[in-house]
Structure 1
Amino acid sequence: MLKRAFDFYLNSSIHVSLAVVCLTAITFQSLDISLRQNFLFFVFFGTITGYNFVKYAGIAKLHHRSLAKNLRIIQIFSLICFLTFIYFSFLQPVAVLIFAGIMGVFILLYAIPVFSENRNLRGLNGVKVYVIAFVVSGVTVIMPAFSSGNSLQWDLFLEFFQRFCFVIVVMLPFEIRDLKFDMIQLGTIPQRLGVKGSKIFGAILIGFFILTEFLKQETSLPEVLSVVIVGLIAFIFLKKSRINQGEFYSSFWVEAIPIFWWLTLSVLEILI
């Protein structure tokens, strides 16, 4: 029973959605923006809707009459999340809805074949990881600023760049794991650089991730410490990444790093 519940937790994208919400909460804390709970719900249910659409739309189309029971449950769950997402959409400022719509276009282009040779953004050579990093960074950094009416400032752009580097780093263990499955046409980072080269590339990005914190006009000791700690943890997970990983190495532990980052920052802000 617990195993089935845990599998549903992962397969229905609740885990990754919590991670995205935590990244969003970090932005509110780092940029000293007033936290809006209805916006976090908007992000949470929107992430489940978008992520499950990308992950399961093709499967549902191909096997609609013979869907596995678990997939049917996930589809129903996703529909409920979509309707809840629509409800929280009515509580958001127009600027948020416009920006969310732009991000939604990227999600559609990522999932639906619109380019030559029946390809989508995911199928374009070397594009996949950067599209995901751009969308996640936009949703978790730029959109929270719009939600509170904040202007685009220097620290916001640094936060976006820092988040962009972080998302790529935490995606690399997935890219390494999928090396034996991905078509060569995808041109993923491990396909281009190899496993060792990908880890070196990730280590460089972690360096940028940490350095960026010191370039901000306004930061704090808890923020600096949390970035350094999380950067080191991300480096350890990246260093230990293998093509043949444990079942939950990437899908649970690596995806939990943003949650740990938010918890670390929150605890440090209380203690310091």
Structure 2
Amino acid sequence: MVWISKLFDNYVKYNIHVGLAVLALALITAMDFNLYLPFSHQLILFVAPFLAYNFIKFHLFIIAGIGSKIKGGMIFFGLTIFMIIWFVGEGLQLPFSSLIILLLTLLLVLLYCLPLPGFTLNFRGFKGLKIHLVALSWVLTTVFLPFSMGGQEINDLGLVYGFQRYLFVLVATLPFEIRDMKSDDSHLSTWPQKWGIRNTKILGTILLSAFVGLELIYFPLLDLTTTLLVAGVLTIFLIKSKAEQSKYFSSFWVEAIPILWLLLKVFNLVI
């Protein structure tokens, strides 16, 4: 059974789980707005966050040229190079608007990791900016990109939907912020560092209430029961979050909530 444990650990470690979570949210957008996403586009929506998060996680090793010294690094980086080549080839066939969104997201990833010209800090290092960069990149990938891929211009309702998704991602990021509050540099001024864990949970609950409120006002016919259930699950995880977490509390269970959301929507369509 040891190999199963290692396989699962690599599934989380190398951000396959994150890629599936992003894909799940993108497919939810497609379902809610009747957007057609061919399988090749769905693969792009998985590969993009997979590459981005692995670059964020391992870019120092990549730049130093020591990726092969990471355990299993040769296989991982070989697979990554193959996926980059495939991604570029498929990405160039996307509509121009989709390319712009992908390039903007790529720029955010690079600025998140690498110092700005003339600065010693990257975007992540600016006080209070980290969580908003994460939420913005997820909204671009899971809302704006599916709209573009589906050949549909985003309207006012789509913008409200994007803001609602922004709130969801903000709250879903908070368990990670709480987990990392001791290891993050104090100058980052993350929410738990600035306001404490208790106030962060209160603020997150308020934002989730706004998330549900937007659903009631603008999207009451989409799938209100599922939205309420997902918001409830996220609230429970937020409340139970603490600085000393189990290994997979945030990285697997919290990250799995978008996948649960998608499965519930599919289940509702079937029954």
Structure 1 length as normaliser, TM-score?
0.94
Q: Structure 1, residues 187-207: CA drift from partner, whole Å, max 9, x if none?
A: 111111100011011101110
In 2, the alpha carbon distance for the partners of 1:15 and 1:236 equals: 21
- Alpha-carbon offset, residue 214 of structure 1: 1.9
| Contact 2:67/2:77, CA 8 A, preserved across alignment | no
Q: Which residue of 2 aligns with 1:253?
A: 253
Q: Which residue of 2 aligns with 1:241?
A: 241
Give the secondary-structure state (helix, strand or coil) at the position aligned to 2:184.
coil
| Contact 2:68/2:74, CA 8 A, preserved across alignment | no
Give the secondary-structure state (helix, strand or coil) at the position aligned to 1:150.
coil
> Residues 181-200 of structure 1 correspond to what in structure 2 (within 5 A)?
181-200=183-202
In 2, the alpha carbon distance for the partners of 1:189 and 1:179 equals: 9
Equivalent pairs counted in the alignment come to: 269
Give the secondary-structure state (helix, strand or coil) at the position aligned to 2:72.
helix
- Alpha-carbon offset, residue 91 of structure 1: 3.3
Q: Which residue of 2 aligns with 1:37?
A: 39
Which has the larger displacement, 98-107 or 123-132?
98-107
**What letter is aligned with 2:209?**
G
In 1, the alpha carbon distance for the partners of 2:197 and 2:81 equals: 38
Q: Structure 1, residues 198-236: CA drift from partner, whole Å, max 9, x if none?
A: 1011101110111111222x5525x21111100000000
- Alpha-carbon offset, residue 14 of structure 1: 0.5
- Alpha-carbon offset, residue 75 of structure 1: 2.2
Asked whether 1:150 is paired with 2:140, we answer: no
| Contact 1:41/1:88, CA 8 A, preserved across alignment | no
In 2, the alpha carbon distance for the partners of 1:239 and 1:23 equals: 23
Q: Which residue of 2 aligns with 1:127?
A: 129
Q: Structure 1, residues 159-187: CA drift from partner, whole Å, max 9, x if none?
A: 10111011111110010000110110111
| Contact 1:49/1:79, CA 8 A, preserved across alignment | no
Which has the larger displacement, 93-102 or 240-249?
93-102
Which has the larger displacement, 115-124 or 172-181?
115-124
Q: Name the CA shift for 1:108/1:65 in 2 (closer, same or farther; >3 Å).
A: closer
**What letter is aligned with 2:60?**
G
Q: Structure 1, residues 223-253: CA drift from partner, whole Å, max 9, x if none?
A: 2111110000000000000100111101100
Q: Name the CA shift for 1:85/1:219 in 2 (closer, same or farther; >3 Å).
A: farther
- Alpha-carbon offset, residue 269 of structure 1: 2.2
In 2, the alpha carbon distance for the partners of 1:243 and 1:73 equals: 33
1:85 to 63, 84, 87: 87
Give the secondary-structure state (helix, strand or coil) at the position aligned to 2:241.
coil
| Contact 1:23/1:140, CA 8 A, preserved across alignment | yes
**What letter is aligned with 2:90?**
F
| Contact 1:190/1:198, CA 8 A, preserved across alignment | yes
1:53 to 52, 55, 63: 55
Asked whether 1:172 is paired with 2:174, we answer: yes
Q: Which residue of 2 aligns with 1:226?
A: 226
Q: Which runs of 4+ in 1 moved over 3 A?
A: 59-63
- Alpha-carbon offset, residue 116 of structure 1: 5.3
Q: Structure 1, residues 130-151: CA drift from partner, whole Å, max 9, x if none?
A: 0110010111001111112212
Structure 2 length as normaliser, TM-score?
0.94
Q: Structure 1, residues 97-135: CA drift from partner, whole Å, max 9, x if none?
A: 111111111111111111654110111110001011001
- Alpha-carbon offset, residue 35 of structure 1: 3.0
| Contact 1:111/1:120, CA 8 A, preserved across alignment | yes
| Contact 1:19/1:259, CA 8 A, preserved across alignment | yes
| Contact 1:46/1:82, CA 8 A, preserved across alignment | no
| Contact 1:189/1:198, CA 8 A, preserved across alignment | yes
Q: Name the CA shift for 1:247/1:65 in 2 (closer, same or farther; >3 Å).
A: closer
**What letter is aligned with 1:43?**
L
2:71 to 69, 72, 87: 69
Please report the RMSD computed on the Cα atoms of aligned residues, expressed in angstroms: 1.6
In 2, the alpha carbon distance for the partners of 1:87 and 1:65 equals: 24
- Alpha-carbon offset, residue 59 of structure 1: 3.2
